[in-house]
Structure 1
């Protein structure tokens, strides 16, 4: 069996046309996601703005343990390919490796019932009637949900390979979302602290489900350090917030650990005395927006710096 090849974020790579069906008229690959060898486009749809639900947790037989709603420009492409060209597992592993090797965040991945959960395919089709893959492709299946950023845009991608009745194919959906713009400087920190006694920081980001601070976050952490250095008489609470994805207990614990990570960074990197900071986590109990949409959940996953005045 020939090994499938995938080239991610590639430009000007030719694709063999032999042994391929003709693509659907007017269709095209998404410019950032390359197709697999010998694939042809059976269905193509592009909408300027739509809502899409991404699976982020296995099914329990009646529902998914977690999902993520995103909205933006959406492209949905269903590819078919000859069965001798590969397998569901090869499609799954090629895309998963390509995403991981190019810095994408894997939101969820699974293959077959043992990992995806009971009735995964049936629940997915009920939830998303626009799926183009035939129902019988659920004989073998896999699923990947990933997210990456490029040029100020966030790209949420799902890959759904399936096999049934000696046919094989995979459906790729890409939702393009404008990233939240951060316009914060020391003056903005001063103003917020003077007027409200606190500031919400949306640019302090963590690895998913983790208290590990992402490197891009330290610009905002440094601004807080500058504020505390300028005002040595001020003490603060460092407060972690989460969205409501997952259990209450998990989110409370995660928000506390994230707050502690920020406190530790302020001390170790910028020399702020630990005695001036108190780390606290409130999980999902003080949202800024609805948790029913990703834009709201993104605002709720924040760190707040709150004046601790006696």
Structure 2
């Protein structure tokens, strides 16, 4: 069975307002989060990040937030979101806004709207899609938002549903595992950082070290940068983004600024020491918003002080 056909089996059953919604996923799925509220106020994004703001619509009522991790070998965010959009429209929802990574506003959109933290929901800053829709005609309006992203052979889906008179139940079922040949990955003679980057679209530059409060890279030859630089030189059409992260000591804005400087310092090292064109590399930071370990121990804080690399596009 083709992936597109399997995704079409995702059934969102149209029910009367406040009735259950059923999702059938195309492969093994795991619910990673489920939060129900008797009442919530949600600033539903209905436009891109622009001029420092995101256009929103205030949705109020009982709310349900859920997230899933779904095994989809070789699938894409486009196929997943297309299927979900069709299901919502069949269930009586009207599309309010839809965007892809760059159109949404990239980093600023991702961190300017409500998204569950890792590991409940993973959003690849180089590959995500967002959708907002409404369903009218019942006792109260219903609003829904979807985030879809991916990593390796998994899709990550977040749903926020607001507005039904009573708690809306969402039931998810797993369909058959999709059998599809994964996209080929070029055979390379680079190190593990590039291998991980090519397989998943992102990789942590684990040998870089940043002390708390510092944005300066230490001296020395970092193997991850040597590996990355060799790959970029051999593939000048590839563009990457460096994303800085911090531990949770200090204010959010201060840590976002610090993480941005850390990423920029790595970009500067690639340009100045390895001769990588500046147009091939961009840099930004997210502070402590995406930890990969608890900040309760020094070991955890050390792991959280990091820079990741993601592939953003190929140059035209």
Establish whether TM, by shorter chain, passes 0.5.
no
Which gives a bigger RCO, structure 1 or 2 (Cα 8 Å, sep 6+)?
2
- Name the structure where strand makes up a greater proportion of residues: 2
- Name the structure where helix makes up a greater proportion of residues: 1
Q: TM-score w.r.t. structure 1 length?
A: 0.44
